[in-house]
Amino acid sequence: MKLIFDRPSALTDKHTHYCPGCTHGIIHRLVAEAIDELEVREQAIGVASVGCSVLAYEYFNCDMQQAAHGRAPAVATGIKRVHPDKVVFTYQGDGDLASIGMAEIVHAAARGEKITTIFVNNTIYGMTGGQMAPTSLVGQKTTTSPYGRQAEHCGYPIRMSELLSTLQGAVSVARVSVHDVPHILKAKKAIKKAFETQLSGKGFSIVEVLSTCPTNWGKPPIEALKWLEENMIPYYPLGEFRSPEEVK
Amino acid sequence: MAKQLMKGNEAIGEAAIQAGCRYFFGYPITPQNEVPEYMSRRLPEVDGVFLQAESEVAAINMVYGAAGAGARVMTSSSSPGISLKQEGISYIAGSELPCLIINIIRGGPGLGGIQPAQSDYFQATKGGGHGDYNLFVFAPASVQEMVDLIMESFDIADYYRNPVMILGDGTLGQMMEPVEFKTPQKRDLPPKDWATTGCAGREPNIINSLSLVAENLEQHNHKLQKKYKHMKEHEQRWESYKTDDAELVMVAYGTTARIVKSVVNKLRDQGVKVGLIRPITIFPFPEKAFAELPSTVKAFLTVEMSAGQMVEDVRLAVNGKHPVHFCGRTGGIIPAPAEIIKVATEIMGGEAK
């Protein structure tokens, strides 16, 4: 029999705790495939953050550290400075990265820290039960914005990729989505490119992945994918904001 | 190596480097700025890394990452900055990572002042951050002692897989004294086979303080408590000075202990039987020092640059057998010998001369 589909070696065989229809599983797989294809699993050191992906250290089959809320880029900095020859990545959600961890991500990018950040943006705090995130869309109902996010009360969602792409040290910045197969393939390419940027030693790399949260959005998985496409992509345009080719 | 005249804060940096520390992450704050400045100059000379972080919060998390990656790593700060580091310190203690943290204390609370104080004793010795944990805490009283203890601290941190803190104050950091860098006695240290170095040829290593199953977390806490108990049994350090026939025993650490020592000498000249217990470890607190005291002792006087923090540990050690008095100054004021002599003399029922 011919093997046509298998688990990447960079994933463990543990069942994840993610809700049905959540796209974290797809994104984990894409990261693991990129690690496998670049043959760096044994050199990889990942940093799990606080949020739904807090248990990522159980799912990635490589050395892992679990970081305090928002601090993954600082932890990754410490690791990378000790082991500059290793491949260091963080896996963070939007509450972790764009709210409590804003300082750490901005400064890791500004320093051109040679790490890769996988930033999963689903516009909500998933683990704590669906509170408003800095990325929640205007009008979006969450448990702490029950009337819908009101811009006059709490401002506008932060576009992290655009913000970080103003920094010279951030040499690879891209936003992708995983709402259908063609986009998943593009996301895979971007993640691999981000790791390649790190291997080339040029600077900081980040991939923002638009993701769904069917449970806390209160939508069935397929509707959630549609909601992402129709509501998130217009506000969070996909594309490459910074590319190592621009960096001489 | 010959003695050289060095400022306390710079001696901290040199001692750490000589003890094998190659990574420093910190953020500027007075009165400890000479530590990062010295490290920024010296670490590149020994192929180490100095990195100025965006905040104390980031600095301590860089320490977490580097310690988890198996390095000898340190940070230094002063009181408000140490408060910011507490979350990270709790994670480091919970994940059982070795590192050195320097606190050159300034007066508080809040932004406080920039002059010397000992008002972070509770924070240093009772955990400081959230959860049941303890740091191993040294309280040196001279630049030489600070150097000696720092050179030992990295071995102690590795031995226990626990953060070590040096509790100094602005005086110790800012003053110059002759120092000699002596190679300390080495401890037998196990290899850091738990560190995240890339999993080639072995199963992945995980650095973590999360434990969602209550029974497992309690087991982990039992393990940590066993470690602290071992420290209490084997690591208490203190200096006893003229306590053999003492009726009044003064207790003081760090800079204050130097002043109290001269108070003891002055009172002895006047025929007053006083002595000094100077804790060198403040966690573990040297309660054994109190058990060894002669039966002549009638009372204790704790002297601190705080509103009264270590005095609580002294009361626990004395356990109600004798009265425990307190004399302290706060806000950055160093107690003068005369005011301590006055309090001591009153306790002894006499009049100050």
Q: For A45-74, write each residue's pLDDT tens digit.
A: 999 999 999 999 999 999 999 999 999 999
**Lowest pLDDT segment from A84-88, A152-156, A244-248, B146-150:** A244-248
Report pLDDT for B352. Answer: 52
Interface test with A, best of B27, B40, B97, B207 (most A CBs within 10 A): B207
* Residue B64 shares a structural domain with residue B111: yes
Tokens, residue B47: 């192929």
Domain match, B62 and B155 both: yes
B14 in a domain, yes or no? Answer: yes
User: For residue A152, with 0-12 CB atoms within 10 Å meaning exposed, 13-18 middle and 19 or more buried, which class applies?
Assistant: exposed
B65 vs B47: CA distance, rounded Å: 19
> Of the candidates B234, B250, B279, which is a domain's last residue?
B234
CB–CB contact B199 A75 (8 Å):
no
CA distance readout (Å), B328 to A15, A187, B65: 59, 63, 39
**For A190-228, how does the pLDDT look when each residue is reduced to its tens digit (9 = 90+)?**
999 999 999 999 999 999 999 999 999 999 999 999 999
Q: Give a yes or no: residue B303 inside a domain.
A: yes
Are B230 and B252 in a shared domain?
Answer: no
Distances from the Cα of A146 to the Cα of A17, A124, A130, A217, angstroms: 27, 13, 11, 12
B217 and A CB contact within 8 Å: no
Is B34 domain-assigned?
Answer: yes
Same domain for B38 and B155, yes or no, is: yes
Residues B326, B30: Cα–Cα separation, whole Å: 29
- Rounded to whole angstroms, the Cα distance separating B90 from B129 reads 5
A63 → closest Cβ in B53, B54, B199? B199
Q: Find out whether B71 and A82 touch, Cβ atoms under 8 Å.
A: yes
pLDDT over 90 percentage in chain A: 98
Q: How many structural domains does chain B have?
A: 2
Structure tokens at B300: 């204790």
Task: Estimate to the nearest angstrom the gap between the alpha carbon of A246 and the chain centroid.
Answer: 23
The complex's ipTM works out to 0.97
Q: What tokens were used for A82?
A: 């000790």
Total beta-carbon pairs less than 8 A apart between chain A and chain B = 129
Are B173 and B55 contained in the same domain? yes
**Chain A touched by B198 (CB under 8 Å):** yes
User: What is the per-residue pLDDT for B184?
Assistant: 85
CATH topology of domain A24-246: Rossmann fold (3.40.50)
* Of the partner residues A54, A63, A76, the one whose CB lies closest to the CB of residue B204: A63
Residues 6+ apart with CB under 8 A from A140: A123, A124, A132, A148, A149
Q: Which pLDDT does position B109 carry in this prediction?
A: 97
CB nearest B68 (choices: A44, A65, A80): A65
* Contact in structure between B68 and A65 (CB atoms under 8 Å): yes
- How would residue A145 be classed by pLDDT, with cut points 50, 70 and 90? very high
Q: In three state form, how does the secondary structure of A84-153 look?
A: CCCEEEEEEEHHHHHHHCHHHHHHHHHCCCCCEEEEEECCEECCCCCEECCCCCCCCCECCECCCCCHHH
* Residue B353, domain member (yes or no): no
Whether B13 is covered by a domain: the verdict is yes
Single out the residue of B132, B81, B142, B130 nearest to residue B108, CA to CA. Answer: B81
Kindly indicate the confidence band of residue B2, based on its pLDDT and cuts at 50, 70 and 90: confident
**Token digits of residue B335:** 């107690």
Chosen from A13, A59, A82, A90 to mutate, greatest number of chain B CBs within 10 A: A82
Strand boundaries in B55-192, DSSP class E? 73-77, 99-105, 136-138, 163-169, 176-179
- Produce one character per residue of B136-170: b if its CB has 16 or more CB atoms within 10 Å, e if not: bbbbbbbbbbbbbbbbbbbbbbbbbbbbbbbbbbb
pTM for the full predicted model: 0.97
- Token code pair at residue A205: 């790399």
- Based on the domain organization, do B137 and B262 belong to the same domain? no
Strand order in the sheet with B281-283: B49-52, B23-26, B73-77, B99-105, B163-169, B136-138, B281-283
Q: What is the CATH number of the domain that holds B118?
A: 3.40.50.970
Same-domain check for residues B202 and B307: no
User: A24-37 and A181-200 are packed helices; what angle lies between their axes, rounded to 10 degrees?
Assistant: 50
How many residues would you count in chain A? 248
Q: Across chain B, what does the average pLDDT equal?
A: 97
- Partners of A41 on chain B (C-beta within 8 Å) are 199
- CB spacing of A82 vs B88 below 8 angstroms: no
User: Mean pLDDT, to the nearest integer, of B177-181?
Assistant: 97
Of B234, B258, B278, the one marking the end of a domain is B234
Query: What residues of chain B lie within 8 A of the CB of A64, using their CB?
Result: 196, 204-208
Give the CA angle between residues A105, A135, A228 to the nearest 5°. Answer: 120
Subunit contact A78:B208, Cβ cutoff 8 A: no
Burial state string for B277-314 with b = 16 or more CB within 10 A and e = fewer than 16: bbbbbbbbbbbebbeebeeebebbbbbbbbeebbbbbb
Q: Nearest-CA distance from B218 to chain A in Å?
A: 19
- Got the DSSP string for B277-327? EEESEEES--THHHHT--TT--EEEEEESSSSSHHHHHHHHHTTSS-EEEE
Is B352 within a domain? no
Query: 3-state SS of chain B: helix, strand, coil percent to 5?
Result: 40, 20, 40
CA A171 to chain centroid, in Å, comes to 16
d(CA B13, CA A246): 40
Q: By the CB < 8 Å criterion, does B58 face chain A? A: yes
Give yes or no for a contact between A25 and A43, defined as CB atoms under 8 angstroms apart: no
The DSSP letter of residue A232 is I
Whether residue B158 sits in one domain with residue B92:
yes
Give strand pairing partners of B288.
Answer: none
- Residue A82 contacts residue B69 (beta carbons within 8 Å): yes
CA distance A36 to chain B (A): 14
Q: Is residue B128's pLDDT more than 70?
A: yes
Helices B143-160 & B214-234 angle (0-180, nearest 10): 140
Q: Write the CB contacts of A242 (distance below 8 Å, at least 6 apart in sequence).
A: A164, A165, A170, A171, A172, A173
- Are B292 and B143 in a shared domain? no
In this structure, are B215 and B298 located in the same domain? no
Tell me the average pLDDT across A120-142.
97
Check B61 against A43: CB less than 8 A apart.
Answer: no
pLDDT of B350 over the 80 cut: no
Are the C-beta atoms of A33 and A5 separated by less than 8 Å?
Answer: no
Cα separation of A70 and A63, whole Å?
A: 20
A121 in Cβ contact with A177 (< 8 Å): no
Residues of B in contact with A55 (CB under 8 A): 210
Whether A244 and A202 have beta carbons less than 8 Å apart is answered as yes
Q: Which of A64, A81, A92, A99 would you mutate first to test chain B, the one with the most B CBs within 10 A?
A: A81
Are B25 and B89 part of one and the same domain?
Answer: yes
> What percent of chain B has pLDDT above 70?
99
A44–B51 CB contact, under 8 Å: no
Predicted confidence (pLDDT) per residue in A3-45, tens digit? 999 999 999 999 999 999 999 999 999 999 999 999 999 999 9
Q: Are residues B196 and B230 in the same domain?
A: yes
Domain parsing of chain A, residue ranges: 24-246
Burial of B55 (0-12, 13-18, 19+ CB in 10 A): middle
pLDDT at residue B183, as a whole number: 87
pLDDT at B181: 96
Given a contact cutoff of 8 angstroms between Cβ atoms, the answer to whether A186 and A96 are in contact is: no
Closest residue to B197, CB basis, from A61, A63, A78: A63
Report the CATH number that the domain containing residue B256 is assigned in CATH.
Answer: 3.40.50.920
Max CA-CA distance within chain A? 61
pLDDT score of A78 more than 60: yes
Q: Are A211 and A202 in contact (CB under 8 A)?
A: no
- Determine how many CB atoms are found less than 10 A away from the CB of residue A57: 24
| Biggest alpha carbon–alpha carbon distance for chain B | 74
* Confidence label for A247 from pLDDT (cuts 50, 70 and 90): low
Task: Give residue B251's domain range.
Answer: 239-347
Residue B201 within a domain: yes
In this complex, is the C-beta atom of B62 within 8 Å of any C-beta atom belonging to chain A?
yes
